Chain A
Amino acid sequence: MGTKNKALDHKKFIFAYFPGQSLMHKLNPISKIIFLVLLTILTFAINSVILLASISFLLITLALTSGITLKNLVKKLKFIVFILIFSVVLNIFFNAIPSDQDEVLFYLFNLSFLPIRRLALYFALRALFIVLTLYTSAIIFTNTTSMKDFVYSLIRLKIPYTYCFSFMVGIRYIPSIEDEAKTIALAQRARGLGLEKINSIRKAYNLIFERLVTTLVSILRKTHTTSISMESRCFGLYKKRTNLIKISYKVKDFIFIFLCAGVFIAIILYILKLLPLPPIPSLYNIFFQT
């Protein structure tokens, strides 16, 4: 397929929803959000790189059991992993403070101007796993949660429905805006813009700016129609409204939330050294203090 049609390709967006039958698909979006919140707190509370790394690997396994194929997951993670590796290298060399506390563990390639320092390495690795954990969990959430369910569960949470609906309409708009933007891009092309290589910032700016303005005008027209249509169907007249769709909580959800909470509390207690368990050895202990 030629490069021209590439823009047509509904490339699976990293965070796009796809239907499935896995446990994560069947859970209530709110349960998943609770899971996300607890996970986020944990990732920042945990100091141990080994623990963080194991959580990331657990999450990747969870993603694989949620109907995301390994091939797809690799595709989705490729970009962020590339950025992370880059940032680890930057962190190690530029985030290091040459001091006694930050001892030099070893020299990369035995070159004296490439010292690897202990704290710099630690922070770099920790940042890597935190980002990886959060990113993977976001993938799991968005890939297994349809936006429709999400919005309806927000309504269930007693968030005022007018807000939820503005969110919903926004999501409903995406495909039609996408179509419109494509047509507009074609209209530019038809009159000769973007046919040759864009070789100056000015050209690129023009291309994008024109496209954006024209698309915006069309979105504004749409919103006008939408608002009139909603108004004349009595939207917002009462503080409450009936909701035909109710996203229900099932036994699964309660078990899941209970489990999450249990693990969360256990780990927090462990971090606070309130559990009679030996501490996890640090990487430094394993590799340099034999």
Chain B
Amino acid sequence: MISISSIPNNALCFKNFSFIYGNNRNNRPAISDVNFDLKEGEILILAGPSGSGKSTLSYAMSGLIPWRLKGFMKGKVEVFGKSVWDYEFKDLCKIVGLVKQNPIDQMVTFTVRDEIAFGLENLQYTKKEIEERIDEISKLMGINHLLNREIEQLSGGQKQLTILSSFLVMKPKILILDEPIAFLDKQSESLLLDRLYKLSNSKEFKLALIIIEHRLSRVANIADKIIVLNDNGRIAIKGKTSEILNNKFEDLKSCNVRVPWVINVFSNFKKIHKNHHQFENITNFQNFLKFIDELNENDLKKLRQVIIENEIKPNTLKRFEEYEQIIKFGELYIETLKDKELGTRKTNKQHSNAIIETRNLEFEYPDSKIKAIKNLSIKIQKGDFIGLVGPNGSGKTTLLYLLANLYEPTSGKIFFNNHNLKEIDPYAYARKIGFIFQNPENMIFKPTIKEELLYGPKNFGMIKDVSENYLSKLINLIGNESLTKNPFKLSWGQKRRLNLGSVFIYNPEIILLDEPFIGQDQRTIDSLIETLYIENKRGKTIIISSHDYHLLLKYTKRIIELNKDGTLRDYDENSNYFKKHKSLGPIIILDKINNRLKDVV
């Protein structure tokens, strides 16, 4: 017999919940008709495009709605069987913790210990209790050796663990995490997810976890339930993870989220094999590897084809033609500027035709003695599409800044079309480079979209060459918006596309992108990478730094991996980086299939 206490309680229950911000009832609701429940010790993934109300829902879960944010609320929210209205805010915030995306913005004190103590101090715990709890939590999270560190000295992953601990120390029953892995590299990411999984399963905490994340592929294996919101703030899909992944997978794929690739490959494979029914549910990687062992030669070849089509080769770009219609670069003004162009001056051409080459490049930040870039020599060919990967702090951003001539190397040289960068007019060089920064808002300077787009051309003195026609075509890239709209009022994804437009407008030869996908939803990511792919086909050189190996694997031709010790690995199509890059799932599987095929033959 099961005792009553062992039946998990309903931690959260939403019934017909809707919310409208502001004072006007007629505003568009940020969220409407949300129904779901979550039990103790369960993990829920909340996904959806940006602007779909994920944050609003998280505020409602944490009690900020209705206690701190103004608006109209309909429906019921119950926390542990009691309506939120029956709680006082202080009781509610003891039960629910809300961790936002960027850890550094949430920290208020100077050291790790103070930060963890912050909540308990507010709740007037005694010093002794606080010390004890800090001790306990920091050991649990594995950061007890960092307690006296200054916040500024922490790595990204450590900051994330610190801010997480600062909530956990208050012993919440429900914890909400808003894109907790956005800023983390692979290593810190798996560490964090592992800790979270343990927390939710531990008998002591029995945490109900809500993770907001659209890359289901990253988090689906620890989740019990999934909710996907649509653009209107309504629930598009909800249910148990296994059920959704097995039965509603096609619906999920249409929902603007990143689906787990293993299941994606598997479900596509099943389509070819309609009469095959010996294999049913494969939701994880290990099962997939076992599954391969059971296949015959014919199946293996088919499976290999499916993997290559889905994971290795870029999508068949239907949009390419539409895009071609939108922006015809043939009619571009740039043609008229050709004779002014750099590097077309005929010089004694050396053997290399690299567009950018670095020789023994080194860079050291002025007040640190550690070299961010160490003895780096690479050649980048015209038309390369390069993915720049590596853990946090390996110097990816620094390298991009150096290539864009925004930083000056401490030693070593950079060559652009065989000219030393130092001898090239920085003004002319800047026009050759388009740089996309990590935060879309950091590169918006003007009060209207039109001015923003013309910002570069104006500074480069080429504004007369931009035709109205072309401008209106670039607007299409952003979406149906008026030219006089304030760019800060655009959606997050639109801002990102505006950034691209404002760089494309002066037709740079090289486009450098620093973590462009952080905080973007899947739809924007897809449209960005496809746009870049097309630009690359048109001959632009593109270097993109990202943690998103899967995306890079699919679209880029070459991957440069920087390591913290300053070493570098360069994989290109010829050296077959697919085979060498073992950390990637699809490659491991391909490898396995190839080996099996050898055995079979």
CB distance from A201 to the nearest CB of B (A): 17
Q: 1/0 per position for A15-56, CB-CB distance to B under 8 A?
A: 000000000000000000000000000000000000000000
Q: 1/0 per position for A235-246, CB-CB distance to B under 8 A?
A: 111101111110
Chain-A contact segment, one of B43-51, B120-128, B259-267, B305-313: B120-128
Interface size on B, residues (CB 8 A): 78
A69 interface residue, CB < 8 Å from B? no
- Please determine whether A233 and B442 come into contact, CB atoms closer than 8 angstroms: no
B291 interface residue, CB < 8 Å from A? no
CB distance from B296 to the nearest CB of A (A): 55
Chain B CB within 10 Å, residue with most, of A10, A184, A213, A232 = A232
Query: Which of A191, A192, A217 contacts B488, CB < 8 Å?
Result: A217
| Docked complex Cα distance between A176 and B62 (Å) | 27
With contacts A231-B68, A233-B170, A236-B122 taken as known, whether A188 is within 8 angstroms of B105 at the C-beta atoms is no
- Please determine whether A226 and B105 come into contact, CB atoms closer than 8 angstroms: yes
With contacts A5-B366, A242-B130, A245-B114 taken as known, whether A191 is within 8 angstroms of B105 at the C-beta atoms is no
Q: Which residue from chain B places its CB closest to the CB of A175 in the assembled complex?
A: B152
Which residues of chain A are near B426, meaning CB under 8 Å? 195
A279 interface residue, CB < 8 Å from B? no
B73 interface residue, CB < 8 Å from A? no
Q: Which residue from chain A places its CB closest to the CB of B122 in the assembled complex?
A: A234
B300 interface residue, CB < 8 Å from A? no
Q: Which residue from chain A places its CB closest to the CB of B96 in the assembled complex?
A: A232
- Please determine whether A191 and B124 come into contact, CB atoms closer than 8 angstroms: no
Which residues of chain B are near A168, meaning CB under 8 Å? 108-109
**Considering the complex, which residues of chain B in the window 141-200 have a beta carbon less than 8 Å from any beta carbon of chain A?**
151-152, 163, 166-167, 170
Which residues of chain A are near B378, meaning CB under 8 Å? none
A1 interface residue, CB < 8 Å from B? yes
CB distance from B169 to the nearest CB of A (A): 9
With contacts A4-B406, A228-B100, A230-B108 taken as known, whether A244 is within 8 angstroms of B430 at the C-beta atoms is no
Query: Which of B99, B102, B110, B443 contacts A172, CB < 8 Å?
Result: B110
Q: Which residue from chain A places its CB closest to the CB of B459 in the assembled complex?
A: A192
CB distance from B424 to the nearest CB of A (A): 12
Query: Which of A165, A192, A241, A243 contacts B430, CB < 8 Å?
Result: A192
- Please determine whether A233 and B105 come into contact, CB atoms closer than 8 angstroms: no
With contacts A172-B107, A191-B455 taken as known, whether A237 is within 8 angstroms of B122 at the C-beta atoms is yes
Query: Which of B122, B124, B430, B459 contacts A233, CB < 8 Å?
Result: B122
Q: Which residue from chain B places its CB closest to the CB of A207 in the assembled complex?
A: B445
Query: Which of A195, A214, A222 contacts B105, CB < 8 Å?
Result: A222
- Please determine whether B127 and A225 come into contact, CB atoms closer than 8 angstroms: no
Q: Which residue from chain A places its CB closest to the CB of B365 in the assembled complex?
A: A8
**Considering the complex, which residues of chain A in the window 184-208 have a beta carbon less than 8 Å from any beta carbon of chain B?**
184, 186-193, 195-196
Chain-A contact segment, one of B13-21, B87-95, B542-550: B87-95
- Please determine whether A2 and B408 come into contact, CB atoms closer than 8 angstroms: yes
With contacts A172-B109, A193-B459, A237-B90 taken as known, whether A244 is within 8 angstroms of B130 at the C-beta atoms is yes
| Docked complex Cα distance between A235 and B64 (Å) | 13
With contacts A191-B459, A230-B108 taken as known, whether A186 is within 8 angstroms of B406 at the C-beta atoms is yes
- Please determine whether B488 and A231 come into contact, CB atoms closer than 8 angstroms: no
- Please determine whether B407 and A237 come into contact, CB atoms closer than 8 angstroms: no
With contacts A4-B407, A232-B97 taken as known, whether A183 is within 8 angstroms of B122 at the C-beta atoms is no
- Please determine whether A234 and B94 come into contact, CB atoms closer than 8 angstroms: yes
Interface size on A, residues (CB 8 A): 54
Q: Which residue from chain B places its CB closest to the CB of A6 in the assembled complex?
A: B366
- Please determine whether B166 and A221 come into contact, CB atoms closer than 8 angstroms: no
Which residues of chain B are near A225, meaning CB under 8 Å? 100-102, 105-106
B423 interface residue, CB < 8 Å from A? no
Which residues of chain B are near A169, meaning CB under 8 Å? 108
Chain-A contact segment, one of B220-228, B317-325, B432-440, B571-579: B432-440
CB distance from A177 to the nearest CB of B (A): 11
Q: Which residue from chain A places its CB closest to the CB of B410 in the assembled complex?
A: A1
| Docked complex Cα distance between A87 and B430 (Å) | 44
A282 interface residue, CB < 8 Å from B? no
**Considering the complex, which residues of chain B in the window 448-473 have a beta carbon less than 8 Å from any beta carbon of chain A?**
455-456, 459-460
- Please determine whether A187 and B93 come into contact, CB atoms closer than 8 angstroms: no
Chain A CB within 10 Å, residue with most, of B97, B108, B130, B408 = B108
- Please determine whether A189 and B117 come into contact, CB atoms closer than 8 angstroms: no
CB distance from B69 to the nearest CB of A (A): 9
- Please determine whether B121 and A148 come into contact, CB atoms closer than 8 angstroms: no
Which residues of chain A are near B131, meaning CB under 8 Å? 244
| Docked complex Cα distance between A280 and B495 (Å) | 71
B36 interface residue, CB < 8 Å from A? no
Which residues of chain B are near A148, meaning CB under 8 Å? 109-111
A72 interface residue, CB < 8 Å from B? no
CB distance from A213 to the nearest CB of B (A): 7
CB distance from B405 to the nearest CB of A (A): 8
| Docked complex Cα distance between A191 and B429 (Å) | 11
Which residues of chain A are near B460, meaning CB under 8 Å? 192
- Please determine whether A218 and B93 come into contact, CB atoms closer than 8 angstroms: no
Query: Which of B125, B126, B152, B406 contacts A189, CB < 8 Å?
Result: B406
Which residues of chain A are near B66, meaning CB under 8 Å? none
Which residues of chain B are near A235, meaning CB under 8 Å? 118, 122
Q: Which residue from chain B places its CB closest to the CB of A234 in the assembled complex?
A: B122
B446 interface residue, CB < 8 Å from A? yes
Q: Which residue from chain B places its CB closest to the CB of A218 in the assembled complex?
A: B441
| Docked complex Cα distance between A225 and B105 (Å) | 6
- Please determine whether A234 and B113 come into contact, CB atoms closer than 8 angstroms: no
| Docked complex Cα distance between A180 and B437 (Å) | 11
A9 interface residue, CB < 8 Å from B? yes
CB distance from A220 to the nearest CB of B (A): 10
Which residues of chain B are near A233, meaning CB under 8 Å? 93, 97, 118-119, 122, 166-167, 170
- Please determine whether A234 and B430 come into contact, CB atoms closer than 8 angstroms: no
Instruction: Write 16 A-B pairs (CB below 8 A) sorted by A numbering.
Output: A1-B410, A2-B408, A5-B366, A8-B365, A8-B366, A148-B109, A169-B108, A183-B439, A186-B437, A191-B430, A191-B443, A213-B445, A228-B98, A229-B105, A229-B106, A232-B96
* New A-B pairs, 15, CB < 8 Å, besides A191-B435, A229-B98, A232-B96: A1-B366, A9-B366, A10-B367, A148-B111, A180-B442, A190-B404, A190-B443, A196-B427, A218-B439, A233-B119, A233-B166, A234-B123, A237-B93, A237-B122, A243-B121
